[in-house]
Structure 1
Amino acid sequence: MKKQIEVVGAVLIRDGAVLSAQRSPHMSLAGFWEFPGGKVEAGETPQVALAREMREELLCTVTIGDHIDTIRHEYNFGVVTLTTFYATLVEGEPQLTEHSELRWIPVPDLLNVEWADADVPTVKRVMRDRTPRPSEEMHNS
């Protein structure tokens, strides 16, 4: 049986752009983009794990909002279950500690980078949920 890995990811949105993290060369899936977050430790809820990982990896404090999706994806190194949440930056500016790059990517441009497979369904959902429909734009003007 393949190794089971439970991870969490934060979808932080600021000024219509999503904080995206590129995995560094020493990480598995090197070079792919992902939502920042990390592994859920024993005894943690996904929300507690995500808040902790954001403090540890990005040196910032977030509040965890609505659940977006839970995706199970099988990689060659194991089966990853990724649970994503919207999150709001409360304190600090996200800092690069483990990833190669952090980038605020405008929602319509999210698919212009290569995402890790487990993150792709959330990317598509965020694009669907956060891109104004033409009818909405007309009503809001």
Structure 2
Amino acid sequence: MQLIIMRHGEASWSATSDRARVLTDVGRNEVLSTVTAMADIPVTRIISSPYDRARETAGIAANQFGCDVETLDALVPEGNPRDIVERLPDSGVVLLASHMPVVSYLTGLLCDGVPSSGPSFQTAMAVLLEAELMVAGLATIKHCYTP
């Protein structure tokens, strides 16, 4: 299985709540740059945080890969990476659109077995992980994509 963990693009601070923040023009261009670099990956599912900026990021990816976007409440910034792992599909190439710090914690958990060991993600950064089973400590980072 392959899993792409992606942070949303640059978001505006002008919103009624953190949940309602949307991508800036720069953020949309960042996301487009990253997903264009991943164009050869056969993404089969896209799962997003319910926050607007992540859903917008997922929508840009969905246009690139021809997938629908599903929402997973656990992908919020303060989400528990173990809860996310339990909800991952068993197969396919899945792209998750989410936030710091959960993207870092999830990467650390899957690759090193420890949530605190993940990399810091700049906006619109994505990592491609590979594992026979996406469980704690068994994944390997195959590639890192930045805008």
Q: What TM-score comes out, normalization by structure 1 length?
A: 0.27
Structure with the higher fraction of residues in strand conformation = 1
Task: Find the structure with the greater CA-based Rg.
Answer: 1
